[in-house]
Structure 1
Amino acid sequence: RKHSLQFPSLLQPGKWEKPPPLRPWPTHLIDRSHNRMFLAAMCFVYFAKAFQGSYMKSSITQIERRFDIPSSLIGFIDGSFEIGNLFVIAFVSYFGAKLHRPRLIGAGCFIMAMGSFITAAPHFFQGLYKYETTVSHFSGSNGTESILPCLTNGSLAQDEIPTVEIQAECEKAASSSLWLYVFLGNMLRGVGETPVMPLGLSYLDDFSREENTAVYMALIQTVGIMGPMFGFMLGSFCAKLYVDIGAVNLDTITINHKDSRWVGAWWLGFLLTGGVMLLAGIPFWFLPKSLPKQGETETEKESNEGEQDRFIPDKPAPVSMAALAKDFLPSLKILFSNTIYLLLVCTAFVQISGFIGMITFKPKFMEQIYGQSASRAIFLIGIMNLPAVALGIVTGGFIMKKFKLNVLGATKICIGTSLLAFSTLLIQYFLQCDNTQVPGLTVSYQGVPQVSYQQNTLISLCNMGCSCSLKHWDPICASNGLTYASPCLAGCQSFTGDGKDMVFHNCTCIGDSPFPYANMSAVLGQCSRKSDCDYMFKFYMAVTVIGAFLSACGATPGYIILLRSINPELKSLALGIYTLIVRTLGGIPPPVYFGALIDRACLKWGSKQCGGRGACRIYDSGAFRFVNLHWHFFMVTLFVNLVYTLKNKGNHFWFHKEPFSQRIFKEPSLSYLFII
């Protein structure tokens, strides 16, 4: 008994009590964490979608070469993003507010990631990239002269013989229709991008205070601006890597990243950007359907309705089509009778068309006109031109706020910046390098510049004894400084070395040039541009940066003019039509017709593995430079008309009591206008 264990406290009634329940986290702390989580997620997704979209722009040239398609078709592929966006934008904007907005954004991120993966998929089904070359047919015997580059008349060029192996590989060749996967993947990215902006901004506006909304939007836009810079830098890195890296011995590749036949690892960047987008969408799946307003009590929370509840009535009143048409058509007539509004829409269309066409093909322009590699051109755009655009937008807004300019003052800024930007474009037109000197294309075999080009001009007395292919582009740099289309067309009789180190000798056409050399030898690749072309390119980059900054300075004043020219009762209709025109006419056709104009400047087309015309290898620099010039003439004309209209019809403006800087982030439609 002395050592018996007794627990009277446990046995007595009332002594055993349940442990106190765990106190839940305060509701305001949970809401605050959700607010921060959503803001961070929006910053990340804005960065990811800009990162993904800019990488697509930087890979245009690589995709064009890999699939051996013309610039007009690659422009159509690039415009598929806007097509996918327009397919679902009405549905998402109308029904999205009644659904779980964060999860819709997360689903959109998943769709964008899948679009990137689908875009990269053709690489794994095409087989190895086989660039057009004649060297592979006679590079097997190193240091010998038994197999001659210049074939005899009785023989047939081996690259023209249709072998069974080539016919069997036609289904996997770059000339196949696998580019449709790139088109569908890019369109899918456009579908997935649709809910990010309208639903994200409305969700942000619902829970944030009015004074904090502008700060949050500025933070999101600032982070988003970093996306294009990283996207172009990734494009520059991937353009230096060979497309089949890891699958082939790079020592056997006879071209480098400066060659117009080089294709970089374009697919690798889409896998990386798709993975980043997949990560960006994860946080949205853990956010609630709605959040209370910052600083709002529970009582106020119940009495106030967010955009989710008031966006669409649960039981909308039935409206007949006749009643809608009765109100719609007169409103549309009033809107299109507003001369200022029409001029602003046309001006925005021209500006955005020129910008989309320029940014799509600018790497190709810098490569063809100034002899820059695709990777270096992409890198310079990312670190110089895009930051200048961002700085210009901020500067334009700062000037408007600092000097408190009215509508006429904003118009003067738009006109002044446009004229200055146009003057920089005129300067760019004269900052040119001469065409690459290619006998039979840009100069004759005697070194005289040619007025026109036909395929038979590639044949001359010096190579008439050779059975050369006129379709292929396999350039060599001769000792006289000229670039010949192929060793055979240069009349080369022998070679030494192997692979990239091959040297061709006894080239008869080199002796016919105005500056003949005794050895008459040549090496693989195009000749470098003259030293003055490097200085010209530096001036060109400086002028383009200044022009990009000046053009962007007029962006914010232009938005103010647009908003003040609209009757408040027709604001939604006017902005909707403005957005529709800008996104459809300004985003989809320009890459196509700019690409078609660029195709007309082509001097030498490549050949597909299975026959037919491939991607362009060399352009006429004069015709290429003129492509983007005529649009700016039209833009200046529109601005002159706008000045005349403002001078005579200034009383047609509608002034808002609320400052533009506050309204731009309060209304989703206006914030959408600001972003595009």
Structure 2
Amino acid sequence: IYFGAKLHRPRLIGAGCLIMAVGSFCTALPHFFQGPYKYETTITQSSEKNLTHTMLPCQKSCEKAAGSSLWAYVFLGNMLRGIGETPVMPLGLSYLDDFSQEENTALYLACIQTVGIIGPMFGFLLGSFCARLYVDIGAVDLDVIAINHKDSRWVGAWWLGFLVTGAVMLLAGIPFWFLPKSLPKQESKNSKKAVNDFLPSLKRLFSDSVYILIICTSLVAVSGFIGMITFKPKFMEQTYGQSSSKAIFMIGIMNLPAVALGIITGGFVMKRFKLSILGAARVSVTTSLVSFCLLLTQYFLQCRNAQVAGLTVSYEGLPEVSYEPETLLAQCNTECSCSLKHWDPVCASNGITYANPCLAGCQTATGFGKDMVFHNCTCIGEVPILPTNMSATLGQCSRSEDCDKMFKFYMAISVLGAFVSACGATPGYIVLSISSDLKSLALGMQTLIVRTLGGIPPPIYFGALIDQACLKWGTKRCGGRGACRLYDTDAFRSRFLGLIYGLYALSYVLWALLYKRLVQRHKKKAAEPEAVNQEGNDDSSKNTQDETGQEPEKETNI
């Protein structure tokens, strides 16, 4: 990044787009090298269409998963995308900053960030579309697939999004190769000293206490944001009963436009009131605190756990939360030799979900694929509420209408909080008060540190903490623990939101220290002109005395 500021920045950005495109294509490769996806199920189809056995099929042998080493392609693809992304924003923003008038910089930055939101918005919409498509679409007969996109075992066409975005990035990088190296406003710079000046510039940069506080504040805040945005669809899915595709769609169609509007509003405020660095810091802190208060209210917008027999409610319908697999057994299914590990949920006519048809005590079934209906389910009769029949259908039961209303309140608060928080994005960037010759290096190092330490670890420790709230784990094809199928929503909410609250609270403490340091620097800079003026007055007085012929009191003999 440092050398990029001395070289042809638009072409470096174009090269970065090309590298990102290659990384996206590389990430999608595992789908074409591994076999078809086989989801976890206890149901086997017999030769007769209208007959289904609810018994776990016998596996004579267990072959090693074909994709055990394909993670290397994903790792390489993410690494290439990270390398390619590095020069785009730092060099692009510094290129803009160098050739724009100072009073227009904030508005231009807001416009770029706002347009930049369009990309993630379409990305979420594309992700929602791909999530509704089966992972092996075009390669398997979808009529025999007994799950839909609302099922936790569903895997969408994740690879399709990487192919589309790779093609878009490849096309987007072409115009940058034809932009000039400099615009009329830029003065000539000597690039021969770039190598020799790098280490001193790096040392000067990291000796700035304000810059260190900026990095620490950004690192903590980004960690909370990355953890939140990574597991927000899962939170919406588990807490409010929304499908993953709908959760991603709602984020893309509602939250991101609010973010775009907030960014452009913050840039307009900076231009309209011509705020200084201290003013920008006040705006950024204020908007962050208001959005944090809105985030706190989300803790109280809760729904009760999904009613799953033996996990969240008893087989009699009484409230119960248990982490022991033995609770899945009851008197109505003890003689069925049911599997306790596998997750193949069915929704009974009494509104309760059972982990699989066998645990529901179902004896017969009709239909095929997604249309299968199970009959004579003995466990359904354990609930004191008289059911209309003793049947069950594939999939989990839907949440209550009250939960849908709560989800609407949640989305309203979420969208408002996204708007308020985004209003402080442009002022937050202006706080980066580094001298112009180090701006590219400062942005580059900040991007590297924040993206690495704030982007990679949070999903790991967020996921580890959230997994402690799991009530039912899935089972891999060759045994072992798979993905979590059902969470205790109260524990999920407490761990997920609690960790976000802790990280954001720490970022505000760092913001307070940063603001205090900015005030001290501002006072110091304000005092320097007065000292210079005073010194200038003293020199003028001495010169006047010399002109009158009077000698100074002290002389220096050489």
- Displacement of 1:464 in angstroms is 0.6
Q: Secondary structure at the match of 1:629?
A: helix
Q: 1:183 to 1:481 in 2, by over 3 A?
A: same
Q: Quick check: 2:94–2:440 contact (8 Å CA) kept in 1?
A: no
The residue type equivalent to 2:66 in the other structure is K
- Displacement of 1:132 in angstroms is 0.8
Q: Quick check: 2:106–2:430 contact (8 Å CA) kept in 1?
A: no
Q: Secondary structure at the match of 2:320?
A: coil
| 2:356 pairs with 1:486 | yes
C-alpha distance in 1, partners of 2:256/2:509?
A: 28
The residue type equivalent to 1:163 in the other structure is K
| 2:51 pairs with 1:163 | no
| 2:479 pairs with 1:611 | yes
C-alpha distance in 2, partners of 1:195/1:399?
A: 28
Q: 1:615 to 1:575 in 2, by over 3 A?
A: same
Q: Quick check: 1:478–1:484 contact (8 Å CA) kept in 2?
A: yes
Count of matched residue positions in the alignment of Structure 1 and Structure 2? 525
1:503 corresponds to: 373
| 2:131 pairs with 1:239 | yes
C-alpha distance in 1, partners of 2:162/2:170?
A: 12
1:468 corresponds to: 338
C-alpha distance in 2, partners of 1:570/1:199?
A: 12
- Displacement of 1:198 in angstroms is 4.1
C-alpha distance in 2, partners of 1:428/1:445?
A: 32
Output the TM-score relative to the length of structure 2: 0.83
Q: Secondary structure at the match of 2:310?
A: coil
2:491 corresponds to: 623
Q: Secondary structure at the match of 1:456?
A: helix
Q: Secondary structure at the match of 1:653?
A: helix
Q: Quick check: 1:490–1:508 contact (8 Å CA) kept in 2?
A: yes
The residue type equivalent to 2:521 in the other structure is H
Q: Quick check: 2:213–2:514 contact (8 Å CA) kept in 1?
A: no
1:651 corresponds to: 520
1:333-357 per-position Cα deviation (integer Å, ceiling 9, x unaligned): x644x6xx66554433222111111
1:281 corresponds to: 173
The residue type equivalent to 1:433 in the other structure is C
| 2:303 pairs with 1:433 | yes
C-alpha distance in 2, partners of 1:641/1:271?
A: 40
2:88 corresponds to: 196
Q: Quick check: 1:458–1:489 contact (8 Å CA) kept in 2?
A: yes
Question: Which of 21, 46, 50 is matched with 1:113 structurally?
Answer: 21
C-alpha distance in 2, partners of 1:410/1:101?
A: 28
Q: Quick check: 1:354–1:628 contact (8 Å CA) kept in 2?
A: no
Question: Which of 272, 276, 296 is matched with 1:402 structurally?
Answer: 272
Q: Quick check: 1:207–1:291 contact (8 Å CA) kept in 2?
A: no
Instruction: Name whichever of 390-399 and 609-618 sits farther off.
Output: 390-399
- Displacement of 1:202 in angstroms is 5.5
The unaligned stretches of length 5 or more in structure 1 are: 1-92, 150-156, 297-303, 658-676
| 2:118 pairs with 1:226 | yes
The residue type equivalent to 1:652 in the other structure is R
2:193 corresponds to: 313
Output the TM-score relative to the length of structure 1: 0.70
1:544 corresponds to: 414
Q: 1:213 to 1:434 in 2, by over 3 A?
A: closer
| 2:75 pairs with 1:183 | yes
Q: Quick check: 1:476–1:523 contact (8 Å CA) kept in 2?
A: yes
1:279-312 per-position Cα deviation (integer Å, ceiling 9, x unaligned): 2233445x37x5564499xxxxxxx62x5xx244
C-alpha distance in 2, partners of 1:501/1:571?
A: 61
The residue type equivalent to 1:520 in the other structure is M
| 2:504 pairs with 1:635 | yes
C-alpha distance in 2, partners of 1:641/1:232?
A: 31
1:590 corresponds to: 458
- Displacement of 1:459 in angstroms is 1.5
| 2:186 pairs with 1:272 | no
1:143 corresponds to: 50
C-alpha distance in 1, partners of 2:185/2:291?
A: 46
Q: 1:106 to 1:649 in 2, by over 3 A?
A: closer
- Displacement of 1:490 in angstroms is 0.8
Q: 1:226 to 1:498 in 2, by over 3 A?
A: same
C-alpha distance in 2, partners of 1:233/1:102?
A: 29
The residue type equivalent to 1:111 in the other structure is I
2:423 corresponds to: 553
Q: Secondary structure at the match of 2:483?
A: strand
Q: Secondary structure at the match of 1:617?
A: strand
- Displacement of 1:403 in angstroms is 3.8
Q: Secondary structure at the match of 2:454?
A: coil
C-alpha root-mean-square deviation of aligned residues, in Å?
Answer: 3.5
1:301 corresponds to: none
1:111-141 per-position Cα deviation (integer Å, ceiling 9, x unaligned): 2112111111111121111111122x14542
C-alpha distance in 1, partners of 2:487/2:123?
A: 27
C-alpha distance in 1, partners of 2:53/2:182?
A: 80
Q: Secondary structure at the match of 2:455?
A: coil
Q: 1:267 to 1:203 in 2, by over 3 A?
A: same
Q: 1:432 to 1:210 in 2, by over 3 A?
A: closer
- Displacement of 1:526 in angstroms is 0.6
- Displacement of 1:425 in angstroms is 1.6
Q: Quick check: 1:432–1:536 contact (8 Å CA) kept in 2?
A: yes
Q: Quick check: 1:335–1:574 contact (8 Å CA) kept in 2?
A: no
- Displacement of 1:416 in angstroms is 3.2
| 2:313 pairs with 1:443 | yes
The residue type equivalent to 1:109 in the other structure is C
What percent identity do the matched residue pairs reach? 65
Q: 1:244 to 1:387 in 2, by over 3 A?
A: same
Q: 1:111 to 1:490 in 2, by over 3 A?
A: same
Q: Secondary structure at the match of 2:224?
A: helix
Q: 1:528 to 1:199 in 2, by over 3 A?
A: same
The unaligned stretches of length 5 or more in structure 2 are: 527-558
Q: Secondary structure at the match of 1:395?
A: helix
Q: Secondary structure at the match of 2:497?
A: coil
C-alpha distance in 2, partners of 1:641/1:252?
A: 55
C-alpha distance in 1, partners of 2:435/2:86?
A: 28
C-alpha distance in 2, partners of 1:379/1:389?
A: 15
C-alpha distance in 2, partners of 1:312/1:123?
A: 47
1:75 corresponds to: none
